[in-house]
Amino acid sequence: MHSIGKVAILTVLGQPVPDDVFQVVTGQVGSMSVEKVVAAVETAAKREGLIAADHYRGEHALYHAVLEALHGVCRGQLELGSILRTAGLKFAVVAGPRDADRPEEGHWLAVALYGYIGAPRRGFEHEVIGLGINHL
């Protein structure tokens, strides 16, 4: 029925996703610093147990998933304040099979980011989305 990426995207958009196969964590972060976006996602995912806090393996998987999602948000340069723009983002991190119908393929991670990017001035902004998927 559900695939991990679609669950992440619909969740970050605030659409209800009835499902008991995937683990889901959500949050939000507004910043001119890319590293703060990465940190916010990692902190939430560890706190909720989607990745183990004391092993590098899960963090490595999540880190690359976040960077891939940021490519969709930044569209060319993984930079925010350093090129005079700011982002207000919601995020969803999802752990589970790539597809709810194919649990035999092991654990994967999806990170979806959705929100607004623009000049550091209210209303001077437009929407962005990004999705990163990695094997766990």
| Options 21, 23, 33, 88; binder of its own copies; rule CB under 8 A | 33
SS3 state at 67: helix
Q: Does 43 bind its own copies (CB under 8 A)?
A: no
SS (H, E, C) 15-40: CCCCCCCCEEEEEEEEECCHHHHHHH
**133 CB-contact burial (10 Å; exposed 0-12 / middle 13-18 / buried 19+):** buried
CA separation for the pair 87, 69 (Å, rounded): 13
The total of other beta-carbon atoms located within 10 Å of residue 56's CB is 9
Q: Rank residues 48 and 72 by Cβ distance to its own copies and give the closer one.
A: 72
DSSP 89: E
Q: Does 78 bind its own copies (CB under 8 A)?
A: yes
Residue 90 C-beta: closest distance to its own copies, Å: 12
Map the footprint of its own copies across residues 111-130, applying CB under 8 A.
Answer: 112, 114, 118-119, 123-130
Q: Does 18 bind its own copies (CB under 8 A)?
A: no
Map the footprint of its own copies across residues 48-77, applying CB under 8 A.
Answer: 55-57, 59-61, 63-64, 67-68, 71-77
Amino acid at 124: F
Binding site for its own copies (CB under 8 A): 3-6, 9-10, 13, 15, 33-35, 38-39, 42, 55-57, 59-61, 63-64, 67-68, 71-79, 81-85, 98, 105-106, 108, 110, 112, 114, 118-119, 123-135
